[in-house]
Amino acid sequence: MIGMGAVVTRSVPDFHLAIGHPARSIGIVCRCGEPTARFDLAPEAFTASVICRACGLAYDVRAGRVTEVTPPAPVAA
């Protein structure tokens, strides 16, 4: 997710929230768009397991790389 007015000069990793000029990652967001964690230091230093309070999806974050633990349920057509 990219903040309004951010100037993106390089690739933004999946599920990261980037803001600023130039854009930098400040946290992670859920697939539903809800912020789930904020980086206190550099994203590469962040390691945690987080659960979205809005929808309950779980994510594993290792060295700033975000992996979905519980992907969303498929929608019937």
Domain residue spans of the chain = 1-77
Each residue's pLDDT tens digit, 64-73: 899 999 877 7
- For residue 22, is the peptide bond before it cis, meaning its omega torsion is within 30 degrees of 0? yes
Would you place residue 77 in the very low, low, confident or very high pLDDT band (cuts 50, 70, 90)? Answer: low
Each residue's pLDDT tens digit, 13-32: 999 999 999 999 999 999 99
pLDDT of residue 53 exceeding 80: yes
Q: In the 3-class helix/strand/coil scheme, how is 5-71 assigned residue by residue?
A: CCCCCCCCCCCEEEECCCCEEEEEECCCCCEEEECCCCHHHCCEEEECCCCCCEEEEECCEEEECCC
Q: Looking at per-residue confidence, does 6 or 76 come out higher?
A: 6
Mean pLDDT of 38-61: 92
